[in-house]
Structure 1
Amino acid sequence: MEQTRDQAVQLLNDAKLASDANAKVDKLTGLIELVVRKQPALLQEFLPELVLLQAEPQKPVRLFLAQLLEEATAAAPEPHILVTSLRCLTALLGDAVPAVVKRSVLAANPVFRVVLAVAAGGGLHEAGAAALREMWAVASEFKSAIIKLAVNHSNDGVKLNAIKFLEQTVVLYTGDLLPTLYPGAPSEALRMQPWPPSHALLKPTVLAREAEAHLMELVAMLKPPKVDSLAGPITIVAIKVVSSIAQQRPNFMGRVLPTLLGLASRCGEEGSTVAVSTSTAVKAALLTVLRCRAPTALPWHKKVTKGLQVMGAGDAAEAENRKVKEEPQAAPAQGQPGGPPAQQQVPAAAPPQPAITPKAELDQIMAVLGALAADPHPQQRGMLNSFVAGLQPALLADVVIANMARLPTRGQMGLAPAPAPNGALLAGLMQGLSNRPATPPGPIAGPRPPQGPPPVPIPVPVARPPPNIQLAPKDLTHAQRAALRRGAVERILAATKTPARHFRAGLLARLATKAPKQDGVADEMLESLLRDFHAQGGYALVMKWLFSLYVADAGLEPADALVANTATGMEVDQADGSAVESKPALLEGLEGEEASIATTESRIALSHEAGPSGQEQRSGPDLSGSQYEAVLLAVCEGVREALPAGDRTIARILLEAPVLPSPGVPNLLRDLCAGGGDWATLGLTTAQNIIMLRPPNRFAALGVVLDVAVCKQSDARGKAIRLVANKLFPMIALAPRIERFASQQLHSLMERPKPKPTAAGKPALPAGGKRLHAANVQLKQPLTAANADEPGASISEADGNRLCGLYCVLCTKRQTLLRGLFEVYAAAGPGGKAAIQKQAPALARVVGPAAPALIALVNATPPRSEPLMLACLYALTEKDKPPEALVKACLAQHTRRRDPRWLVPALAGMTRAAVVAVFPSLLNLDAARFNDMIHRLRNVPEEGKGLMNPSEILVALHTADLQKEKIPIRKLILALNLCLDQRDVFTPEALALTLQQLVVRTPLPPLFMRFVIQTQALAPKLKGYIMELLGTLVSRNIWSEPQQWKGWVMCAKETAPDSFPALLQLPTAMLKEALRQMPPAITKQLLEFATSGSSPVTVPRTTLVLLKELTTAVPRLPQPAEAQPAASGSAS
C-alpha cells in the first residue's frame, strides 16, 4: 500500500504541474486507477486535494473531476467522503460551461442513491449520527440546486439530466423499499429493504411530501404558458417522466392526469403549436394509464378515453378498454366451468402466505450469520445486529427454524468454537446475498400451508461392519482421458454466470496449458472465446492462459519465479479486465505452479510500472515457436477477425502479455498496419505503446514503425512518419536508430554503377559495399521495394518519394540533417532527384529562410545539388521577403558562379539600384525563370507594392550595359519579346511611358527604333503618339545614327501615309535617301499629299521638285549593292 501511495503522490504532483489539459487528464486517470479502484482507503487522504481541481481553467479537467467524484463515492461510501464529494459537485453545478454542469448532474443519480442508502443503513444507530446528519443536509442542498437547474437553466442538455434526477428522487422517496447500505459495507452490498419503523433521519411522511412537491414542479412545467416556452425535447422528456412516475406510483394519478389531459385537448385543436412529437408522447402516456389496473387509475379511464378520442387515438383507447372488460370475466370461468358466477357462494380467499425461502439462499444467509457471529470484533458485532434487523420477518423465521436443527447437543457443549471464516469468503457470501432480489413484504399472521400427516417412524437396521472388498483401479485410455478433459473444459466454458468466475478463468487456463495438443482443448477455448469475446470474459481468461503458458514454456520453477520484496499481486477481473490488488495473504498457501504464476504476474506488473528507460532491459526467455507464441498470435488474429478496428483489445493483450516473442509479434503488427485505415492506426498505436511501456520489446516495435514509414501504402506511411517525427524521434534513446534507418533509406536512392561480370559470369558486389537495410517481412502489400537496393537498379519517382519521405520530415526536426539530403541528391538517379525535389518546397517552408543550417548550405552548396538548393530558395522567397543573411549568401553564390539563377531569390531583398546593376546578368535566364523574375520585381512580399513598375523594367532592359557582362544583343531582343508577350502587364500606357523616358536619352538605346516598331504593332491606338515621335526624331537628326536611321525609315514606310508629315520635315537629301528605300507608290502618294494643301507642315520648294523628279523618273530595279542595306535595316 505504501508503494501505491508513493505512485499516487507522484501522479498528483505531475497532474498539478502539467500545463496541457490532456496531459493533466492522463495523469488523473492513472491516479483514479490507484486511489479509487486499487486502494480506496487512500481516498480519505487524496480527495481533499482532488476537489481543488474545480478551480482549474481547463474544461476537460473539470469534466473529469465529476467522473472522479462519481467513482469515488461508489468505491468508498463513507459519510465524510460523500460530504466532500457532494460539496464539490454542488460547486460544479454553477460552472459557466454547460458540459461540466451536465456531467455533474449526470453523476448526481448514482451519488444521491448511495447517500440515501448510507443514511438508511446508518441511521438505525447512534454511532456516527452527527456525520450522517451533516451528509444529509449537504445532500439536500445539492438536490435543491439540481431542482433549480431543471427549471431555470438555459441549456437543454442540463435540463434533461436534471429532470431525470427528479424522477429518481420521487420514485426513491415514495417506494415501499428503501436502498440500504450498512456501515463498513462496500457499495456492492447495497440492497432494497422495507422502511425501518423508526429512523433518526428518514421519515416516510416527510420524504413523501418532498416527493409530491418535486412532482408538482414537473407538472407545472407542462402547464401553459410555461409549456409553450419549452424546447421540444424538454417537453417530451417531461411528459415521459411524469407518466413514468404515475405508472410506478399510481397514488399520484390525480396530480398528473389533469395536466396530461389538458395537453391532449391542446394537441387536438386546429392551429396548435404543439409539435407532432409532443402529441405522440401524450398519446403514449395516456395509453399507459389505460393499461394500469391500480384502483386509483380506474376512475380516470373514461376521461382518458375522451382525451385520446380528441387526439385521434380513439381506436387504440377502445382496444385497451376491451381488454379491461374481458379480464374480469375470464377469471370466474377458469374456476367454475359448470355455472354462472352469481349463483355460487365463493368463500373469502385466505390471506396470501409468504413463500418459503429457497434452500440455497437460506444456506447462504446462515453462512453469513455464522461468519459474523464467529468474529469477536465489536464492529462485526454491530454488523451482525444490523444484518439481523434488516431481515424480513418471514425470512428470519425460516432462518431460526433451519438453525434449530444445528443446536449443539448436551455432549457437544464443551467443544471449541469453529475457526473464523476467511475474510474473502465472507465478503463473497455477503456480495452474493446482496444480489438476491428482495421479496415484497406480505402479511405474516396467516397460517402456513398444511404440512400433511406426521411422518411414520421407520425402523433402522443395526449397522454392520462394511465388507472388506479389494478393488483394483483401472486406468483410463488416452481417448477417455482426452474426452474427459474436453468435457470438463466445455462445461466450465458454458458456466459463464458462476459466482466463482475468478476461479473459472484460472482453472480453464491451467487445463488448457496442461492438456496435450492433440486433445484440441486450446482450439475449443479459442472458438468459445471468439464467439462472444467480451461477454465471455475473454480478456481475463486470455491473460490467465498466457501467464500459465509462460510459466510452463519458460521452464520457471516456483523458486525462480519468486520476486524479492514483492508486495502486491495482480488479478484481472472477469468483467472489465481492470487490475485489482490482492493481499499478500492470498498468495500464502499456493504451491508449485500456482505460486509461480502469481508471482510471475506480480513481477511483470512491477516491470511495466517501472516505465520506459533509456536502456534496453533483459527480454526474458526466447519463446518463439512455442505454444505460448502460437496461442498469443491465434488469439490476436481471432480478435482481429471478430471485433472491429476501433476495439483496443489487441493492444491491451500485447501490452499486458508476459513476453512478446519475435518475430511473431512484430509480424502481427506489420499485418495490422498493412490493413490500412483504422487497422493501421491500431497497429501503430500498439507499437508506440510497446515502445513506451515495454523496454525489452522497444526496438522490435520501433522496427515495425520504421518499416511502415517506408511502405507503399500512402495512408499507413503518412501515419507512421508522423508518429516517428512527433513522438519517437524526440526520445534520446531512439533518435540515433531512427536517424540511421532514415539515412539508409535515403542513401538507397544513390546511383551505383552496374557491376562488371566476373570470370564465372556472376555479377560482383561493389567494392566494400554493404547491402542497405530492407524490410524482411511480407505484408498484404510489400512494405519496401523489392529492388531498391540492388546495384545499378533504377528507382522510380514513386519509390523515391517513399524512401526519402521519412528523412525529409526528420530534417524539419533536426536541421543539421539537411546537408545529407543535398549530398544524396547530388548522387541520386533521375527518379530519386525528382522525388527529393518534389518534397523540397514544403521542407524549405517548414525550415524557414532564416535557419542557420540552410544559410550555411547556401554558402557552401554541395556540388551537383544546385537545382535542389534553387528549388528550396525559390519556394522560400515566393511569398516571403528573404532575410538579409540569405540575400548576402545568394549574391555571394552569384559572384562565385556567375549564375543568374541565384539572383532571383534575392531580388525581393535588394534595393532598386542594386537590381538595376545586375540586370545584364538577368538577361541570361531562361524564359520561365525570366518571367518569374519579372513577377517578383512587380510584387515584393510583405510590402504590398512592386520594386519596379513595368515601364521601369523596360527602361532598365534598354539601358543595360551589355558590354560589361558580354551579353549578346540577341539576349536583349529575347528578353524584350518576353516582356511584350505579357500584354496584361505591359499595357499601352506602360509602353508610351517607356518611349517618353527613352527618347530623351543621348545616344538612343540600340533597340530603340525596333521597340518603336513593336509598340506600333502591339498598340495601334498609340499611332498618333508614334507619328509625333518620328517628327521629334527628325529634329534630333536621327540620320546621324545609322542603325536608328534604318529603323526610322522602316517605321515611316510601315506607317505611311500617317508618316507623311514626318517625311516632309526631312532635308531634301535625306528624303531622297529614304524614298529610294520605299516603293514608288509611296513617293507618288507623298507628292499628292504635299501638293494638296492639307499638309500640316510647310513644304519647301526643293522638296516638291525632288518629289516630281522621282515620280517622273523611270523606275529601276535596285542594284545588289543597294538591296543589302535594306535587308540589314529590316533585320535590325
Structure 2
Amino acid sequence: MATLSSQEALDVVGLVGELMREANSMPPGKEEARVVSLRKAKDLILSKIPDLIDNFWVEMLATRHERSVIMIAFCLEWIQEACAKEPVALMPDAIPIVLQLMEHQSVAVQKASLNAAREIYRNAFAWILRSAKESEAQSVWTELKRIKDHVTYAIGEDYEQSHVGYRLLSYKFVETVITCQTPRDSDVPATSEDWVSSLDFPPRFQFQTRETVEEEAHRLLQTLEDYLTSPDFDVKYVDRESIIGCLFHLAKRRPQYLGRILTTVEFVHGNIPESYSKLEVEGLRKYLKAALMSFLRRSHDGDVLGRVVQLLINLGASNTDVNRARPKWQEVQKRKRSDSSSDPAAKRVKGYEDSRRSASDTAVASDPQALAVDINMKTIVDKLTPNNVIELVLTNMKKLPSTMPTQFNATYTPIGSGPIEGILQHLARLMAVQMVAAGVGPGVVEMNRRRQEEMSIRNQMDTAEAEDNTSPQQISSVLSRQSSVVTVVKSEVPDDDDGHSNDSADAKKLMEEMHETPDAYKATDKAFRLLDITEPIPRDDRGNAILSIVNEIISNDGNVLSASGEYLYHKCLIRFAVKIGLDSLRERIMKYILEDIGKRTELAFRWIYEEYAVARQMTRDSTDHNLDELVRYDECLTKFIRGFIDHPEYREGTVNNLYMEVPVVTEGAVDLLTYYCAARSVHGAMRLIQKLVSSRPNADRFIVPALEMTLNQRKDIQTQAVQTCVKVYETVPELREPIRDFAVVSMKLLNNVVQPPAWFFAEKYGRGGKAATYAWTEEYQKLCTTLFSGLLSEDPSLLPTLGEIYNEHPSDVKKTIFKVIEQPIKSVGMNAPEVLHFVKSPPKGSESLVLRIIHLLTETHPATPELIASIRTLYSDRIPDVRFLIPILNGLPKEDIFAALPKLIKLNPVLVQEVFHRLLGTGKHKQDSTQRKPSVTPAEVLIELHKIDLGKVDAKTLIKATGLCLEEKELYNYETMVFVLKNLVEIDPLPFLLMRTVLQTMQMHNRLLPFIMNILQRLVEKQVWNLPLLWEGFVKCCEKTVPSSFPVILLLPAERLLTVLDSHPALKTALQKHVQELGLRQRAFMSQKVLNVVLTGKIDLPQGSTVAEENPVDVVGVIAPLVSQNGSRVPLVIKLEEEHEAPAPIRSVMEEDSNEPSSRLTESTDDSNSMVIKQEDSDSEEEDVKPEISV
C-alpha cells in the first residue's frame, strides 16, 4: 500500500466523511443507494487509510440495527473485511455482534452472518495463535466457542426447525473449524484457506491446549460422520450431499483423514435410505463418483488409490474411465520430486510431521467405525469358503422379496472379473459395512469395548482433576479480567498474596499515621488536634464532593494502562459504590458500567460480589440468606440484569453469566426472567431457564417464570414456555411434581364459570385491564389447558387426573378439552398401558372423555385387541353405553355386533352414519378393511337390519338405517342385492321393509327386473295380501314394473285382483289390453274368475255369457327353469287335462342371463310378457325331474 501524503490523507478523510453524511441523510426506502455510498466509504478506509477503521467502527456497525436485510449484510461485510485488517483491536467486539445476528429473525440475515462467521473464525483463530495476551485470547476463544455451540445446536437438536439453507452453511462452518483445529499435512501446499492449523497453537496458553483443540475437531468430524452413518439421524438428501461435500473438501486439505472418510463413503453408498426417490439415489451416486474421480487424479498413495478405484467400480464407473482418471507414473514421480524440493519451511514442517506420523496414524486408526469395518472384513475373508458361501445363499434365498426393490436396482453394481483375492476382499468389505450398520460382528464388539474404555479413562481423569482442584474452602470472586475466578483462601491464613484482603488493617495503620503528632509540636504544652479547629462537613456537601471525585476518576479511565492499575481503579469505584450509601453515587457508577458493557462487565461482577460479601458479613450461617440482608445485593443484581437486557448491545451470553455465576439468584432476578422473555428474547430466556434448572440449586424457583408464561397472552411466549416446561419435565425428575401441580391448577381455573381470577389479568401475563371487564373465552380456556396437554403427550399417567378434572368442568370447557387433547392422545397411541387402564376403569363422570379418546385413537387405525378388550370390559361391567362400541365394531364378533345393532341405529344421525362407515368400511374408514378383515359383510348388515323387531326400533329409524346402507352403491351391487333379496324372501315372517328394499333395488339395478319378478311371484305364494304393510308395497312394485309384472298380477286370486284393479284404474286398463292381446292357448291357462275380473271388472258373469273359448287341449306348458334352494335349475312342466278347472299359480320367468341388456326386459312384447306354452314329448330325458302340475 502506497504511503499517502498529509494532504492526500486529509482529502480521503473528507471524502469518507462526505460519503457517510450522504448515506445517513438518505430517507427510508433508499437502502440500496445508502449501501453504495457506505461501500465506497468502506473501500476508501480499507484500501487507503486503515487507521480510520477504529474511527468509523461504531458508525458502520450501527447499520446492523436497520430493518433492511441489505443494510445488515453490509454490516457483516464491514466486520469481515475490517477484522481481516485490524484483528487485534476489533476481534473481541466483532464476534458477539456476528453471534447476535445469527439469531436474527430473518433467514437471509442468519445465512449472511453464518457465511461471514466462517471467514471471521479463520481470522480469529489465526489471531489467537499470534496473540501476546492470554486474557484477550481466552476472551475471543470463549466467543468463538459460543458460535460453535450455536451452529452445532442448529444442525443437531434444532435440525427440524432450522432452515435448510442455514443448515448447509452450518456444515461448511464446521468444515472450517475442523480445518483450523487440526494439524496441516506437509504433502499439501499451504494456501490462504488451510495454512491455519493446530500446529501453531501456543503451548503457553493455560485455558486451552493443542490436544484439547484437536480433540474438539475430532469430535466435530465424528459428528458429521454420525449424521451419515448413524440410524438415529434422519438426514435429508440435500443435507447428506452437503456433508459429503464437506468431508471431501476436508480430505483434500487434511489427507490424514482420507481413510476414515472413504470408510464413511463406503457406508453411505451401501446404506442409502429407502425413503430416497430414484432420482435422489442416482444424483447421490453421481456426486460420489465425481468426487472420487477428482481424488483419483490428485492422489499418489497406493492404498488410497486401491480403495478409490474399488469404490468407483461399485458406483458404476468403467475401467476405461478409471484408467483415464488415474495419474500417470511420470506425474506421480514429478509430484514427489517437487514435494521433496520444496522450501525449507515446508521441510521443517515435514520433519515435524514425520516425527508425529505414528501418532497421527494411530489417531486415524482409532476411528471406531473404520476399525469395526476392518475387523469384520478380516474375519469375513477367512470364512469366505465355497461351502460357507453356498450355505449363505441357500439359507437366505427364502428371505429375498418376490420382486427386486427399486433402490437395490438403482444402487447395485455387479462385481467385475479379476483376481479371486481382490474379489474376496471386495465382497468381504461390502459385507463388513453392512454388518457394522446392523450392529453385529466382532468389529462392533471391539468398537464398543474401546468406547467404554475411553469413557472410563475420561471419567477417571475428570475425577482426579476435580480432586486436585479441591481445597479446604473456595470463595467465588471477581478479581481478574475473567467473568469469575475461584480464589482459594485457606482458613488458617486470612490474607492473600496481593494484600488487598487486609484493607481494614491498612486503613487502621493509615489513620494512626494521620493522627500521630508531628515532631515539631511535641514540645508544646498542648497537643494539636485537627478536630478542635475543623467542623464536620454537611452530608449533602460530603456527597457532592464524593460524587465529584468519582466523576473525576471515571473521566480518567483511559489513563489506566497496567493490569494492577486497572484492578485498583475498579476496587476504588466498587468501594465507593458499596461503602458510601448514596443513591446518586451508585446510579452514576452503574451508568458508567452500562455505557460499555462489552468492556466493563467485569466491573459489574465485582460490584455484585462485593455487595454479597458485605451482606454475608452480617451472618455467619452460610446457608441462611435473610431477605433484609440481601436487599442491596438484590437491588444491584436486578438493576444490572435489566440494564444488560435493555442495552442496545444486548448479549445473551452476558445475561446468562449474570444468572449462572452470581452467588445467589434473588427473587427479584427470578421475576426478571419474565421481563427478559417479553422485552428482549423469548428463546434466550427459555434457554437460560433450562440452564438454571439443571445447574443451580433450588431449581423449583427458576421453573416458576416458565410455568407462569404458559398462561401468557402472547402466542410465541406461551408456546416456547410450554415446550420448555415439557422438556424440563422430561429431563429433571425432581421438578415433575411442581410442573404437574401447576398444570392441574391451571386446568381447575376453568371451574369458575363466571370469570377468570383477578391475577389472571396481571401485567406479567400480557393482559392489562380490570378483571371485571373480562369473561372466559375459548382462547383463555385453551391457554389454561395447553400445558396439561403438552405434559400428557409425554406422560400418559396423567389421564386419571384429567378424568377427575374433566368431571368438574362445565360443558363449554369440555368442548375445549376435546380439541386440545387430540394431538397428545394420538401421539401416545392405543398401545400405552396407561391408556388401556384408563379406558378400562375411568373416573366416574368422565364417560364422554373416554369416548372422545377412543374415537381419536381409532380415527386412522383400527383398534388393537388390547384396546378392544378394555372397551368390552368397560361396556359389560360399568357403562352399558353402545357408543363405546362404535370405534371397535369391526373388532367385535358378529353376534355382538348384531346384538348391539338395534341400539346403535337409535343414536343421533351423525353417530349412526359413523356406525355404518365403520361396519361397511366407507368414508374415512376405507383403509380399515385393508388393515383388518371385517367381522360382517355388507349383505349381512342389511339382512340383519330387516330382521330387527319393530318392538325394539320404530319403523322410521329402520327405514333411515337401510337407506344409509343402500346409499353405498359400490358395496350393494348386483350380486350383493341378489343375495340379500333371496335371503329376505325366505324369512318367516316376512320383514316389513322387504318391499321397500325391493323397490330401492329396482331403482339401483334395472338389470334385476326378471329376478324381482321372481321375488314377487314368491310373495304371491306366501299370500302377501295378508300382510297389509307388504301388500301395499307389492301393488306399488307391480304398478312400477308394468308390463313385466302382468304375469305376476294374473296369479293373484280374483278377489284380491279385483281390489287392486278397482283402486288402480290405469293398471286395469293396461292389464285388459294385455289380456286381449293374448292368444286362445294362453288364455286357457287363466282362471275364469280372473279373466272375468280383468275384462268385466266382476268375478261372476250373467248366465249364458262367456269371455273365453273353451277349447281344452292336451299340451305341456314349459316355463323357464326356476332356481331351487340348492341352486340347480329345474324346468316346470304343466299338463292340460280334460277337467276345466282354474289353473294353479305359475311362476314367472326368473332372472335372465346377466349379460342380457335390461332394455329387452323393459320393452318386452306380447310374447315376452305372456306365458309361452310349448309342446313337449312325454319321453323327455328330464321327465324324471320335472314336477307335474295338473291344470
| TM-score, normalization by structure 2 | 0.47
